[in-house]
């Protein structure tokens, strides 16, 4: 479904080159719930951004459904992201002036879908994540866990093939974090959506069908000591 081959990423800070990813090859299969783990600075978020077509590797290839998408123009990549991918960030990234319902259907509205279609879809998804009674609330009227579940519903609104979640429980307490992870797990099992999530919490790996560990920008076979 999605593959990166020999991908490296080097950031430049003035004259200094900072390697973030080093010759990584990874294939993600349809229907997987993949967890990417590693210490701070190991390259987890960089790998997720490259897989999600938000960033490009310095070297290497990216394939989506067998097609090389790494060198496509940003306008085309943006369309692919809207149509086939969903994103959940640790800081929620909800628009403060929009209600929960409006935040959820915004990506579908951007694709030019019919209002009734995307509103009905958004309502169904808010119901699925247990927030139907909060759909008219603004983000500031919701708890952190509720905001993250709104973000998950938003990620699902365009019926993506794959969802990327970057430390989705990092800003939450243990109870809210568990609710978020159980929501992602439920979507994976019931909607068959492929999910790739980054976590530093060892307890989150129980939700994954596979765990990939990074150390110094490389995939390692065993848990680092």
pLDDT digits (tens, 9 = 90+) for 92-121: 999 999 999 999 999 999 988 899 999 999
- Looking at domain 32-55+69-220, its CATH architecture is 3-Layer(aba) Sandwich (3.40)
**Number of other CB atoms surrounding residue 131 within 10 Å:** 22
pLDDT digits (tens, 9 = 90+) for 201-214: 899 999 999 999 99
Kindly list the distances between the CA atom of residue 132 and the CA atoms of 84, 100, 137, 188, in Å, as whole numbers in the listed order: 25, 9, 10, 20
pLDDT digits (tens, 9 = 90+) for 15-30: 899 999 999 999 999 9
Give mean pLDDT, residues 57-79.
Answer: 91
| Average pLDDT, rounded, for the chain | 93
Is the pLDDT at 225 greater than 70, yes or no?
A: no
- The residues spanned by each domain of the chain are 32-55+69-220
Q: Residue 168: what pLDDT?
A: 94
Return d(Cα 22, Cα 10) in angstroms, integer: 9
Q: Residue 1: what pLDDT?
A: 83
Coil, strand or helix: which one is 217?
A: coil
Angle formed at CA 177 by CA 174 and CA 182, multiple of 5 degrees: 125
pLDDT digits (tens, 9 = 90+) for 27-42: 999 999 999 999 988 9
Q: Residue 71: what pLDDT?
A: 81
pLDDT digits (tens, 9 = 90+) for 113-168: 899 999 999 999 999 999 999 999 999 999 999 999 999 999 999 999 999 999 99
Return d(Cα 110, Cα 168) in angstroms, integer: 24
Q: Residue 214: what pLDDT?
A: 95
What percent of the chain clears pLDDT 70, i.e. is strictly above it?
98
């Amino acid at each position: 479904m999605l593959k990166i081959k020999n991908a490296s990423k080097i950031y430049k800070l003035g004259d200094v080159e900072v390697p973030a990813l080093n010759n990584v090859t990874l294939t993600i299969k349809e229907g997987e719930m993949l967890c990417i783990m590693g210490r701070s600075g190991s390259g987890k978020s960089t790998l997720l951004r490259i897989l999600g077509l938000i960033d490009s590797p310095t070297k290497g290839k990216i394939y989506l459904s067998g097609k090389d998408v790494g060198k496509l123009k940003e306008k085309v990549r943006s369309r692919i992201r809207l149509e086939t991918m969903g994103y959940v960030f640790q800081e929620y990234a909800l628009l403060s002036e929009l209600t929960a319902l409006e935040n959820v259907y915004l990506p579908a509205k951007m694709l030019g879908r019919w209002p009734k279609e995307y509103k009905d879809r958004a309502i169904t998804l808010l119901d699925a994540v247990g927030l139907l009674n909060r759909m008219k609330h603004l983000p500031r009227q919701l708890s952190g866990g509720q905001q993250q579940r709104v973000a998950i519903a938003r990620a699902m609104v365009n019926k993506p093939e794959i969802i990327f979640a970057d430390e989705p429980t990092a800003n939450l307490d243990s109870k809210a974090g568990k609710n978020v992870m159980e929501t992602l797990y439920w979507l994976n099992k019931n909607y068959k959506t492929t999910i790739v999530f980054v976590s530093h919490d060892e307890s989150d790996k129980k939700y994954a069908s596979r765990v990939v560990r990074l150390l110094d920008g490389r995939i390692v076979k065993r848990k680092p000591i």
